[in-house]
Amino acid sequence: MDNLLQRVKEIDIRQVARDLGFEIIQSRRMNCPFHFEDSPSLIFYPPPQNEFHCFGCGKHGDVINLYADTCKIDFKTALEELASRYIPNYDGVRNKNFRKVDIKSIYSNKPLPEKKFEFKPIYTEIYERFQTFCLSQPATESARKAAEYLRGRGIDDWTIKHFRLFVIKNYVATNEFLKEHFSLEDLKGSGIVNDKGNLVFFVHPIIIPYYQDGRIIYLQGRSIGNPPEGASKYQFLSGVPRTIFNIDGIKKLRPNSEVYLTEGAFDCMTLVKNGMPAVSLGSAKTFKKEWFKYFKKYKVWISFDNDEAGINGTKTIIEDFLMAGILAEKKDWNKGFKDINEYFGQR
């Protein structure tokens, strides 16, 4: 069964999108079916990453999530239907017709365009009260496991303190605390709760705060170890566009300084701990134009994971940087290491 899940996850997400009836532009983007928009902001990450991310509404997932959510069916049904259609010797039920999405209804039933996301100061207050509350809670089994997991990833006490990482020790109590202190409208606007009004970090109790000028402007959750089936390792705020992690860490460097750009936030933390100024894209490999300004004065070392997706992402991003007039180059740590943590962990 695990094997089937893996094989289905490897079905080219762009092929499935096309078969569903979506139009893919420049072989990597399309209009997002999950929010109203005029210009396509849903990006595909081709295999092996094989995921999508919408920079408009923040929706993110793999091929099964895409199929399930556009067809409005559950994960298991989506898995079976995809297997039935694309896995040659799948021995489950093989009578399902592949669904097509009624594209017209998706794009025309949308009423007025949604308002563009606008950051409100109250969101920072929500994120910071959330952090203070979590830090003030007594230790729990979940907190102990999180600490153990972080240590295993080479995230030591200095790093935890420096980046002010924290853990949701009690999901229910935290959820209640937020609702007691803030309006549901503000909580939803901040992306910290979902449409049902529940804290989005249900299986992602390790929280990585993103700061700008010392204030929290974004949050990212991480599961302890591998996430449960169907969930991803990271949970981002709902509907809030992502931003760069540790941007404060490179703001005051001298011109021509060398800075590192990583995929994962943990990689970034490891570099900083080892004396190298670094920022991270949270887990993505794509870059928004408005971020170039942070890098104008510097030389950028791209330090993505040493897998196929990371290597492809590196090529694209280096071209983008060079087009923006910023010197960027791939950093080869040491051949044979999967990522930065492994490199520093084993050195």
In the complex, which residues of this chain contact Zn ion (CB under 5 A)?
32, 34-35, 54, 56-57
Least distance (Å) between residue 54 CB and Zn ion = 3
CB 53, min distance to Zn ion, A: 9
Q: Token pair 């999530």 is at which residue?
A: 65
- Burial environment of residue 294 by CB neighbours within 10 A (0 to 12, 13 to 18, 19 or more): middle
Q: How many CB atoms lie within 10 A of CB 147?
A: 17
Cis upstream peptide for 48 (omega within 30°): yes
Angle at 217 between CA 45 and CA 40, to 5 degrees: 35
Residue 266 · residue 283 · CB < 8 Å:
no
Q: Which is nearer to Zn ion, 57 or 340 (CB)?
A: 57
Which is closer to Zn ion, CB of 188 or CB of 297?
188
Per DSSP, helices labelled H in 207-264 are 248-251
Q: Which is nearer to Zn ion, 60 or 222 (CB)?
A: 60
C-beta closer to Zn ion: residue 190 or 306: 190
Sign of CA dihedral 306, 312, 317, 319: positive
Neighbouring C-beta atoms of residue 214, cutoff 10 Å? 6
CB of 289 or CB of 335, closer to Zn ion: 289
Minimum gap (Å) between residue 18 Cβ and Zn ion: 18
Closest distance of CB 39 from Zn ion, Å: 11
Helix (H) or strand (E) run with residue 279 in it: strand 278-280
CB of 34 to Zn ion, least distance (A): 4
Query: Whole-number minimum distance, CB 3 to Zn ion, in Å?
Result: 32
Question: Which is closer to Zn ion, CB of 55 or CB of 163?
Answer: 55
| Continuous segment of H or E residues that includes residue 308 | helix 308-323
Nearer to Zn ion, 119 or 344 (CB): 119
Radius of gyration of the chain (CA): 21
Nearest to Zn ion of 32, 317 (CB atom):
32
Q: What letter does residue 199 receive in the DSSP assignment? A: B
Between the two ends of the chain, the Cα-to-Cα distance in Å is 37
Report in angstroms how near the CB of residue 321 gets to Zn ion at its nearest.
26
CA atoms within a 13 Å half-sphere pointing along the CA-CB vector of 1: 2
Q: How far is the CB of 125 from Zn ion (least distance, A)?
A: 26
Contact 272, 246 (CB under 8 A): yes
Show Cβ contacts of residue 125 under 8 Å, excluding neighbours closer than 6 positions: none
